[in-house]
Amino acid sequence: MSTLDKVVAITGASSGIGEATARELAARGAAVVLGARRTDRLDALVADIRAAGGRAELAETDVTRRADLERLVALAVDRFGRLDVLVGNAGVARIAPVAALDVDDWDAMIDVNLRGVLHGIAAALPVFREQGRGHFVTTVSTSGLKIVPGQAIYAGTKNAVRTLLEALRQESTDGVLRTTAISPGYVRTELVDHVEDPGQREQAQQAMATLGISPDAVARAIAFAIEQPDDVEIGELTIRPTRQG
């Protein structure tokens, strides 16, 4: 395994893809700065990484609050002298037809999945520009590639992020900035555990359990994108189970 001398901040780092990415990158030599709302889980994760000889810090982070992202980025710079990569991984999923008019759920997905990414960009972009390099790696979804009933708002937020990253890429072709969209399919995470409708939740959980791949697979894909030379940009990666339709 190659040594990855990067400083990487990760949102949504307390479980699933975020946790797996933290462990994978730290094992490869990166310094990781972990953000999530569940600090008890972050405490345990940081302790594990440090016990294995890795470098890790944490900050309680709610991506819907711009100041939290600013604090996460500042922690990376203060502790390690720079920030090379921001992995925007925090996300929520609610499954329901549009006609259900679950406006509060719509707001939650927009606030976390879209506004949370924007807050990360606003916090890290000035640092990347000052440094002369930086990399945004953002978890999107195959839900934006194959549109299905019940996921209109979720897929809409993910495709908004996909569009945002592509526009940012086109605005940043001076060699300073890299952007990567990671689109996972079914992955064994807690993403659908908070779907309110019991039937929808059970169906989604069953699909995750029977088809889902390990979060470690997505973490390896993220590591692959990050470890490329600075003049190479992996714009988008789709990673799904081989049996996913």
Instruction: Please give the angle made by the CA atoms of 163, 11 and 80, to the nearest 5 degrees.
Output: 115
- Catalytic residue from among 80, 128, 154, 186: 154
Q: Is 173 helix (H, G, I), strand (E, B) or coil?
A: coil
- Looking at residue 43, its amino acid is D
**209, containing H or E segment:** helix 198-211
- Residue 154 annotated in active site: yes
54: tokens are: 């890795």
* Sign (positive or negative) of CA dihedral 44, 48, 51, 53: negative
Instruction: Please give the angle made by the CA atoms of 236, 241 and 245, to the nearest 5 degrees.
Output: 95
What Å distances lie between residue 52 and 61, 76, 125, 231, CA to CA?
Answer: 24, 20, 31, 32
Beta strands in the chain (DSSP E): 7-11, 31-36, 55-60, 85-88, 134-139, 177-184, 236-239
Instruction: Provide the annotated active-site residues.
Output: 154
